[in-house]
């Protein structure tokens, strides 16, 4: 049963539909952690039935505000009112806690590892005094919505990161709260499951009377929010719709192809800080200029062999990254360091097809009892190339990495890493690789410098080598100014740079990164990928990375998409996009006031791969005009208003979503 049909079975909240009073009212709230101001004079108001979003960089105060509203954290000054009741102490919070569902930040931090999915849900249902006669039906409905039903007896500790997040959501919703507070609930969740999550949540809000306040690291999720608050440095710098936030940094995105995109970004970055190399495409944010003027400005500094310019409006990612750059230009050492002489870089950086394969896997299989987690996977990564391993939660990506790094023996198959065979030379492999696991694995009670020194010792660097290597790493990964700070106090993006520095301390020829930017803000993610691209292009490191950010997939030279343990698609990003357009059509999107109803109608009439995106529906069409006429007739018959029909470019998210949905249809 699809999400649209499931939502129709959700009972309406007892909260009156015509209720118009504020659910949350925050006035002049301040919160300090010793000398650090986490919240500074915060004012916001959330109305009944709203989806209110909190966006902003790591450490900007979003989580502190959510915890204060939930009554699980004290604040220093101001007033917070929830359901008309003032929340300023543990005792006062008890008056509203039964009406609230809280999902804290972190992969399953509030769940119990030894309990199964079903046992965790039953525990939270009992904790929330859910009646036995309604608990079973409610549990089954939520498990079906979140695609967890087949795994209901699996222990929580054996779940992938995204499955933990979905279980956390079920446990939060099991008592049908009137207000849900979700702190980055989709971090670590694959794009298909993220769309399912938002479809479920927004329809619960709009059809069942629930109110939601949600923080997110994914700027594209702003499309699902009624209103947003943009946080920076403990302050709200703007509130309103997505359009009002986009207006904070007007400008134009100019894109063009370049044979040396990596070097081109270094040239352009001197004048335009927000520039990315996505494969052979250069993407530049030109602030405060209209499309024609922006293209003219870039033409004056672009290399002579550039391709045609394309001008598009900036996305929220671009605006937030630009504002963050303005806010903290002095901390952009990650983008300023390691500026290579172009002649030297050109000699070292181009991709050479004859470079040796440093990662090789042939017919890898891994069974856990009767369950096959990895099913005859083949892949190859040459020196100087970035290989992206994509897939839904539980597809087998992390298991592949564990076999290649010697942490898990394969059931069958063969492979080698940096010249050492997997399964037989696990110690040799570990000495030659750098590895960042899905969960943060450094020592929180050590400073950044102490962690680097510890890992230098683990990898056997002599004191003289450490004195030279550690300063190099601090510059390379952008840790200047953070050396003496406790790791526990570092923002998420800086922690991940530190983890990368520790993985690089022994100069490995190969690095494995398992969702390295999960939960990191937009600017942190861009800076992290600049480092990875330099490692590959300038130092010839072979990189294998998993990610759920489809924009990041564009940085990869090669991609493999996994489903149910198998590789179901492989190639360069451009090849995968072209194949999708040739086989399935061009993306068609349109706005509707009833996305769930429209989705159900579309799927019942043959558009099986249609998906919601905010208040829009998006699908692939082999004949735009024909499908537009047919859909218009179907929606008119159902009294569904639609508008703003658009033909869109194929994205990597389209590739991912279509591949997964087509595989799911074949499995039915």
Residue 490 contacts residue 522 (beta carbons within 8 Å): no
DSSP 8-state assignment for residue 157:
G
- 375, two tokens: 């099913």
Confidence band, pLDDT 50/70/90 cuts, at residue 300 = very high
* Residue 86 confidence (pLDDT): 94
* Average of per-residue pLDDT values in the chain: 86
Which SS3 state, helix, strand or coil, does residue 222 take? helix
* SS3 assignment for 389-458: EEECCCCCHHHHHHHHCCCCCCCEEEEEECCEECCCCHHHHHHHEEEECCCCCCCCCCEHHHHHHHHHHH
Confidence band, pLDDT 50/70/90 cuts, at residue 390 = very high
Confidence band, pLDDT 50/70/90 cuts, at residue 329 = low
- 317, two tokens: 């990612």
Q: Which position has the higher pLDDT, 169 or 440? A: 169
Backbone Cα Rg of the chain: 25
Q: Please write the tens of the pLDDT for every residue from 200-235.
A: 787 677 667 889 999 988 888 888 888 999 998 899
Q: What percent of the chain has pLDDT over 90?
A: 49
Q: Read off the pLDDT of each residue in 101-124 and give the average, rounded to a whole number.
A: 88
The domains found in the chain, sorted by start residue, are 3-245 (3.40.50.300), 248-348 (no CATH), 357-571 (3.40.50.300), 584-667 (3.30.70)
Report how far residue 25's alpha carbon sits from residue 88's, in angstroms, rounded to the nearest whole number: 13
Q: Read off the pLDDT of each residue in 538-558 and give the average, rounded to a whole number.
A: 92
Report how far residue 251's alpha carbon sits from residue 290's, in angstroms, rounded to the nearest whole number: 6
Q: Please write the tens of the pLDDT for every residue from 489-508.
A: 887 778 888 999 999 999 99
Confidence band, pLDDT 50/70/90 cuts, at residue 332 = very low
Confidence band, pLDDT 50/70/90 cuts, at residue 634 = very high
* Residue 90 confidence (pLDDT): 80
Report how far residue 322's alpha carbon sits from residue 324's, in angstroms, rounded to the nearest whole number: 5
Query: Which residues have a Cβ under 8 Å from the Cβ of 578 and sit 6 or more positions away?
Result: none
* Residue 259 confidence (pLDDT): 83
Confidence band, pLDDT 50/70/90 cuts, at residue 354 = low
Q: Please write the tens of the pLDDT for every residue from 391-424.
A: 987 889 999 999 999 889 999 999 999 989 997 7
DSSP 8-state assignment for residue 288:
T
Confidence band, pLDDT 50/70/90 cuts, at residue 338 = very low
Q: Please write the tens of the pLDDT for every residue from 133-158.
A: 889 888 998 888 777 888 999 999 88
pLDDT at 486 over 80: yes
pLDDT at 523 over 80: yes
* Residue 107 confidence (pLDDT): 66
Q: Which position has the higher pLDDT, 77 or 356? A: 77
Report how far residue 338's alpha carbon sits from residue 147's, in angstroms, rounded to the nearest whole number: 45
Confidence band, pLDDT 50/70/90 cuts, at residue 328 = low
pLDDT at 191 over 50: yes
pLDDT at 615 over 80: no
Report how far residue 466's alpha carbon sits from residue 469's, in angstroms, rounded to the nearest whole number: 5
Which SS3 state, helix, strand or coil, does residue 13 take? coil
* Residue 333 confidence (pLDDT): 42
Q: Which position has the higher pLDDT, 488 or 193? A: 488
Q: Read off the pLDDT of each residue in 345-354 and give the average, rounded to a whole number.
A: 45
- The answer for 98, left when phi > 0, alpha when psi is -120 to 50, beta otherwise, is alpha
* Residue 353 confidence (pLDDT): 52
Report how far residue 312's alpha carbon sits from residue 308's, in angstroms, rounded to the nearest whole number: 13
| Torsion (CA) 610, 226, 274, 516 in degrees, nearest 10 | -70
Q: Please write the tens of the pLDDT for every residue from 635-649.
A: 999 999 999 999 988
* Residue 399 confidence (pLDDT): 92
pLDDT at 12 over 50: no
Q: Please write the tens of the pLDDT for every residue from 38-74.
A: 999 999 999 998 999 999 887 789 999 999 999 999 9
pLDDT at 344 over 50: no
Confidence band, pLDDT 50/70/90 cuts, at residue 366 = very high
């Amino acid at each position: 049963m699809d999400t649209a049909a499931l939502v129709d079975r959700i009972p309406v909240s007892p909260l009156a539909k015509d209720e118009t009073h504020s659910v949350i009212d925050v006035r002049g709230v301040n919160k300090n952690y010793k000398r650090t101001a986490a919240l500074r004079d915060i004012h916001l108001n959330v109305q009944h039935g709203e989806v209110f979003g909190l966006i902003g960089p790591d450490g900007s105060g979003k989580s502190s505000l959510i915890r204060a509203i939930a009554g699980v954290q004290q604040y220093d000054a101001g007033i917070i009112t929830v359901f008309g009741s003032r929340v300023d102490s543990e005792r006062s919070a008890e008056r509203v806690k039964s009406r609230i569902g809280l999902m804290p930040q972190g992969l399953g931090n509030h769940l119990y590892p030894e309990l199964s999915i079903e046992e965790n849900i039953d525990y939270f249902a009992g904790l929330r005094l859910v009646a036995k006669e309604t608990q079973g039906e409610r549990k089954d409905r939520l498990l079906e919505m979140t695609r967890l039903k087949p795994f209901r007896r699996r222990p929580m500790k054996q779940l992938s990161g995204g499955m933990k997040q979905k279980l956390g959501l079920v446990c939060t919703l099991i008592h049908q709260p009137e207000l849900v507070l979700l702190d980055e609930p989709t971090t670590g969740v694959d794009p298909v499951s993220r769309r399912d999550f938002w479809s479920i949540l927004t329809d619960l809000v709009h059809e069942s009377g629930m109110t939601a306040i949600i923080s997110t690291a994914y700027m594209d999720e702003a499309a699902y929010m009624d209103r947003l608050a943009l946080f920076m440095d403990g302050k709200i710098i703007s509130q309103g719709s997505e359009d009002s936030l986009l207006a904070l940094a007007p400008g134009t995105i100019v894109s063009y192809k370049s044979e040396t995109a990596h070097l081109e970004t270094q040239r352009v970055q001197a004048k335009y800080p927000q520039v990315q190399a996505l494969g052979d495409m250069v993407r530049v944010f030109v602030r405060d200029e209209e499309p024609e003027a922006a293209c003219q400005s870039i033409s004056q500094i672009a290399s002579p062999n550039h391709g045609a310019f394309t001008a598009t409006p900036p996305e929220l990612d671009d605006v937030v990254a630009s504002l963050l750059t303005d806010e903290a230009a002095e901390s952009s050492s990650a983008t300023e360091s390691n500026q290579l002489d172009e002649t030297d870089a050109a000699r070292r950086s181009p991709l050479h097809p004859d470079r040796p394969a440093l990662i090789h896997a042939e017919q890898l299989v891994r069974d856990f009892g009767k369950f096959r987690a990895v099913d005859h996977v083949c892949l190859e990564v040459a020196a100087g190339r970035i290989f992206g391993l994509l897939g839904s939660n539980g597809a087998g990506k992390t298991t592949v990495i564990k076999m290649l790094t010697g942490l898990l023996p394969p059931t069958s198959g063969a492979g080698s890493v940096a010249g050492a065979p997997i399964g037989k030379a696990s110690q040799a492999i570990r000495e030659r690789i750098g590895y960042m696991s899905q969960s943060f694995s450094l020592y929180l009670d050590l400073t950044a410098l102490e962690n680097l020194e510890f890992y230098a010792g683990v990898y056997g660097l002599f004191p003289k080598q450490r004195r030279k290597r550690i300063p190099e790493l601090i510059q390379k990964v952008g840790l200047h100014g953070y050396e003496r700070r406790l790791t526990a106090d570092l923002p998420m993006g800086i922690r991940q740079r530190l983890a990368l520095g520790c993985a690089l301390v022994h100069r490995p020829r190969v690095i494995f990164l398992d969702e390295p930017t999960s939960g990191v803000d937009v600017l942190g993610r861009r800076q992290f990928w600049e480092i990875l691209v330099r490692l590959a292009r300038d130092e010839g490191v072979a990189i294998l990375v998993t990610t759920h950010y489809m924009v990041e997939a564009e940085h990869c030279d090669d991609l493999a998409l996994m489903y149910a343990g198998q590789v179901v698609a492989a190639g360069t990003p451009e090849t995968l996009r072209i194949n999708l357009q040739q086989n399935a059509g061009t993306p068609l999107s349109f706005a509707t006031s009833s996305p769930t109803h429209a989705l159900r109608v579309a799927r019942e009439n043959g558009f099986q791969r249609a998906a919601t995106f905010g208040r829009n529906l998006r699908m692939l069409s082999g004949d735009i005009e024909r499908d537009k006429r047919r859909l218009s007739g179907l929606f008119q018959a159902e009294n569904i208003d639609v508008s703003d029909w658009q033909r869109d470019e194929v994205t990597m998210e389209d590739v991912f979503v279509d591949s997964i949905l087509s595989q799911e249809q074949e499995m039915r």
